[in-house]
Amino acid sequence: MLFSGHETFHIREGWLHKGLKAVDSDPFLFSDPHATDYLGVGKNMVNSIRYWLTAAKLAEEVKVKSGEKIRTKLELTKLGKTIWRYDPYFEEDLSLWIIHHHLASNKDRATSWYWLFNQFPMRRFDGQTFVTYISRWVHDNSKKKIVLSSLQKDLNCLIRTYAQPSLKHRKVSPEDSFECPLATLRLMEGFENTGTYKLNLGQRDVPLDVFGFGVLQFLASTGTTEVRLNELATLPGAPGRVFLLSSESIVTLCERLEEKYGKRKFSYARTAGMNLLKVGNIEILDFVKESYEARK
């Protein structure tokens, strides 16, 4: 479990592009003291960009031996290379949904993100409720001790990541005012008059290829090729939880997957009262590349 790895900074517009470009040009750049000059941000922000690249699984840390020393470099993952090729400026909503998916399903490096979308039993909450519930969950599921201030920092960062711009805290510094691209996904709302927040369960405008990507990722994580629809709606890491989809939306999206891609790739069946989605031999990266190609 990891908390506050973001240095209190949410993803800013242009950061992921800067990060991918930096890693592509020099894998050791983020360990270079001159990284601040190259990226045009402060030292803590450099660390934050590095964190977001790894938490979103766009890059990974690799240890290499250099003389008598062990150095750490960043390498683009296959997904990172794919996005760098097809959407380096993160202009496609597909890219933003993929980033969100990897954060919301990354229990190890984006623990609060994972917990909020997969474990938290409430859809409307305030800050104290968030901190109380997640601290209990950490206590029950990990030997790691976590200070409450770290959880509060994660909550603040989550709000800045997802809440609609007009509903965020009004008193922020100029550095904190840059919007997060993920806010455009409309997954969260904030209510200034009550100090509460709401996860927007029941999104119906999730693109079909985004849902397909979520299904493939979930099945890859479970090592299976078929899944019941109630599991797609409720299990941690499933698209129903990660994308805040209603059961009705999932049924519709499964039907559309079969209609668009064919039974050999996605087969949706209702047998003996059981709704089941079966997936053929599909490489996730190929599916993503085809989705980008179709959007050109």
Sheet of strand 188-191: strand arrangement: 124-126, 196-199, 188-191
The 3-state secondary structure of 228-286 reads EHHHHHHCCCCHHHHCCCCHHHHHHHHHHHHHHHCCCCEEEEEECCEEEEEECCCCHHH
CA angle at 195 for the pair 194 and 198, rounded to the nearest 5°: 95
Shared-domain flag, residues 192 and 52: yes
Residue with the bigger pLDDT between 229 and 272: it is: 229
Asked if 172 and 28 sit in the same domain, the reply is: yes
Is there a domain that residue 75 lies in?
A: yes
What's the number of domains the chain is made of?
2
171 and 233 together in one domain? no
Mean pLDDT of 142-171: 75
What's the pTM value of the predicted model, to 2 decimals?
Answer: 0.91
Cα Dmax for the chain? 64
Task: Tell the burial category of 53 from Cβ atoms under 10 Å away from its Cβ (0-12, 13-18, 19+).
Answer: buried
The pLDDT-based confidence of 164 (bands split at 50, 70, 90) is: low
Which range marks the domain in which residue 267 is found?
208-294
Domain C-terminal end among 199, 220, 236: 199
Hey, what amino acid is at 5?
A: G
What pLDDT, in 10s, does the model give residues 79-93? 999 999 999 999 999
User: Residue range 164-192: average pLDDT?
Assistant: 69
